[in-house]
Amino acid sequence: MKKTICLTAFSLLMIAGKVEAQNSKVGLPIYKNPKAPIEERVKDLLSKMTIEEKAGQLNQISGRFLTGPSTEDSSEKKKVQDLKKGKIGSFLNIIGAKKTEEMQKVAVEQTRLGIPLLFAFDVIHGFKTIFPIPLAEACSWDLKQAEKNASIAAREAAAAGLHWTFAPMCDITNDPRWGRIMEGVGEDPYYGSLISAARVRGFQGNLNDTAHILACIKHYAVYGAVEEGREYNLVDISRVMLWNKYLPPYKAAVDAGAATLMNSFNVFEGVPTSGSKYLVTDVLKNKWGFKGFLVSDWGAFGEMINHGYAADKKDATQKALNAGSMMDMESRIVINFLPELVKEGRVSMATVDAAVWPILYYKFKLGLFENPYKFSNEEREKKELFTDANIAEARKAGDASIVLLKNDNVVLPIRKNSKVALIGYYANKNADVLDRWPGQGDTAKVVNLYNGLTNKLGSSLVGFTDGYKDDGTTSDSLLQQALETANNADVILVNIGISGKLAGECQSLANPIIPDGQVQLIKALQKTGKPIVALVSAGRPLILTQINDLVSSILYCWHLGTETGNCIADVVVGDYNPSAKTVVSFPYSVGQIPVYYNHFNTGRPNTNHGDGGFTSRFRDIPNEPLYPFGFGLSYTTFKYDSLRISNQNITKKDKLHVKVNVSNTGKMDGEEVVQLYIWDKTASIIRPVKELKGFKKILLKAGETKEVEFTLTDKELSFYDADGNTRLEAGAFKVFVGANSRDVLEKDFTLQ
Ligand code: BGC
């Protein structure tokens, strides 16, 4: 209370322009002077800090609940004791205006220097209003909506006292076995870059209000390439791959101004990324000019010991700090060993200051020294969370994330007044709807599929039954009930897939397939002779091969958050015409993983798709995925023709204009994502057979034709060498335009 009065009086003096005079009179340090430039305030504060206090700023501790393995004494009492000693600079997992204010008060009023805390939380796809999982959201190809979703998530989180989210995840991956594929951007570096940047803009805005929060790029770097898709596993890739395939989204997020970045759990070239001077200092700081701060992933500094890279906790601390890493999330080693390491000259004070500097910088930038409680506002928390407006945006985002993979005989949208049966255990279980990163989403407030369809169809929904059990198996009686339910209907909707509980961290699956019991269910339902629509819920592209030919239509629904059921119902009845396209390939079988569109040609490509002789192919399955990257149908149809380019020979300074006509040949208005790919056919380092380099999402009225134009410049035509330098090389190129990465028109051109 006393402090607040002082601050208010101080602000008045400031307005009167008497700050300097007062400063010297009352001896107010520069760091407390809001008129001084932030850099000077940081410098002043650093000069007053002991090494123990600096180590405290590098120490991040989890609050009540854990999002990683538990460490030492995690009691609240111990945390408050440590906090008072200046030993904690940031908390994760302390949430809510009241709780954050309470802890902030201790930091501000009961520590020697009164440095405010940062409160962080995994706000991955919404805080209270839950949006589609990031992978689904990416399938909308709607960058503005993605930015808006992140900004709503930030606004809600900020109203609950939070300053910082651990998002966006910018990891490219080709592996549906990896549970975290749900959290990312899919398999393409170009699109992954655009959506990562959009998410950063949405979370952060200009960071000059109480509606935005710090973003955190994760997991730096290459976490999406874990072997076998097994969480925390080895990564082993070349630098050429690193630069061309994996780094671009992190780099785009840095360029978009992301304030923070997280070291990943994996190694790169045999070195844990937290200890990788190459990744952290050479690339991130020196080459890219990243000025923000880094935080380790949960316990990752300490895990350098398990990796076999550090001898003990002290050694791990030294290796992390000397590589340029900064904040220690839950290893609790920097706080214990840094002071000693500095005294022994094993870590320099300059290194420590460089690590603490950006953390203090952002505490000043957020205005926390002037008003440490500005984000912790119970009134705002009551008003801003789960509002009708936010829920409406979640519905829009969900509608736009559902991918129509198959629609034989135009079974969808279902005809008005048709009788509909819904079968599927998950359809009426809220606990299975949200994923493992549900923010503070309230399961009870989720609209599940059964509720969504009931809202929309009323009495046309003639029956509902489980059909299978929670583990995906079935039984004779469940199948019997399913048949009875289906017999009353004209169309059968079957909700299959896997629970949201299997989407997220540590949810690797060796067999990302449609569970056996669900396949049996669909086979049984086939006996009715009625059209079957599969509504697939999952946080990853499941292998659909077993059911693909058994059903008329497939809507890939992912996990859509708060409005799940309403969104699926919108699409099922045609209130929303699907416009999403998958940003990951759907493998044909497990043995094909990793399968991705931007693969390489090999010396013996299987171009004729036939017997192939001595070509690179499987003997038992096709090389191609079941559904390729960029694929997604609409309730209308589109035709592409007249692809033309402005020149067949261009110089390195020229721009190549590429035009195509796209027509809506169906009877419904619809949106189409027009995609442009290139192939650099003669390069000093081989390039993928297709690389996305542009897209446009356009609305076409029924019967309408639009000319769509793209421009290719040196930027799109270059690639990276192993040192991260861009190369633009003369040679033969192909340009492709089409509705997905497979169905394209093409032209050749030469770069001189
Ligand atoms: C995850 C991160 C997450 C962190 C904090 C880790 O286990 O890998 O993505 O941000 O926990 O919850």
Task: Give the atom of ligand 1 at the shortest distance from the alpha carbon of 67.
Answer: 12
Name the band, by pLDDT with cuts 50, 70 and 90, for residue 26.
low
Q: Are 337 and 315 in contact (CB under 8 A)?
A: no
Predicted pLDDT at 6: 37
State yes or no: pLDDT of 61 exceeds 70.
Answer: yes
Higher pLDDT, 7 or 689: 689
Euclidean distance between CA atoms 305 and 198, whole angstroms: 36
Euclidean distance between CA atoms 149 and 397, whole angstroms: 8
Mutate to test the pocket of ligand 1, among 61, 70, 122, 124 (most ligand atoms within 8 A of CB): 122
State yes or no: pLDDT of 657 exceeds 90.
Answer: yes
Say how many Å lie between the CA of residue 178 and the centre of ligand 1.
Answer: 15
Predicted pLDDT at 329: 98
- CATH fold, domain 638-751, is Immunoglobulin-like (2.60.40)
* Average pLDDT estimate for 745-750: 98
Higher pLDDT, 72 or 359: 359
* Averaged confidence pLDDT in the chain: 95
State yes or no: pLDDT of 84 exceeds 70.
Answer: yes
Predicted pLDDT at 152: 98
Say how many Å lie between the CA of residue 452 and the centre of ligand 1.
Answer: 32
Euclidean distance between CA atoms 123 and 169, whole angstroms: 11
Predicted pLDDT at 70: 74
Question: Does a cis peptide bond (omega within 30 degrees of 0) precede residue 569?
Answer: no
Say how many Å lie between the CA of residue 298 and the centre of ligand 1.
Answer: 6
Mutate to test the pocket of ligand 1, among 124, 164, 298 (most ligand atoms within 8 A of CB): 298
Euclidean distance between CA atoms 271 and 686, whole angstroms: 26
Give residue-wise pLDDT tens across range 271-295. Answer: 999 999 999 999 999 999 999 999 9
Residue 36, phi then psi, degrees to nearest 5: -75, 150
Pocket of ligand 1 (CB under 6 A): 67-68, 92, 122, 166, 218, 297-298, 505
Predicted pLDDT at 608: 67
Predicted pLDDT at 4: 37
In the residue annotation, 748 being an active-site residue is answered as no
| Residue 39 buriedness (CB in 10 A; 0-12 / 13-18 / 19+) | exposed
Instruction: Give the residue extent of every domain in the chain.
Output: 33-87+99-116+292-386, 389-592, 638-751
Give residue-wise pLDDT tens across range 378-393. Answer: 999 999 999 999 999 9
Question: Does a cis peptide bond (omega within 30 degrees of 0) precede residue 594?
Answer: yes
Mutate to test the pocket of ligand 1, among 166, 180, 265, 295 (most ligand atoms within 8 A of CB): 166
DSSP 129: S
Name the band, by pLDDT with cuts 50, 70 and 90, for residue 27.
confident
> Which positions ≥6 away from 719 have C-beta within 8 Å?
244, 680, 683, 685, 687, 726, 727
Please state which CATH number belongs to domain 33-87+99-116+292-386. Answer: 3.20.20.300
State yes or no: pLDDT of 1 exceeds 70.
Answer: no
Predicted pLDDT at 321: 98
8-22, 230-244, 359-373, 703-717: range with lowest mean pLDDT: 8-22
Q: What superfamily would CATH give domain 389-592?
A: Glycoside hydrolase family 3 C-terminal domain (3.40.50.1700)
Q: Single out the catalytic residue among 297, 328, 435, 570.
A: 297
Give residue-wise pLDDT tens across range 439-488. Answer: 999 999 999 999 999 999 999 999 999 999 999 999 999 999 999 999 99
> Which positions ≥6 away from 19 have C-beta within 8 Å?
13, 33, 35
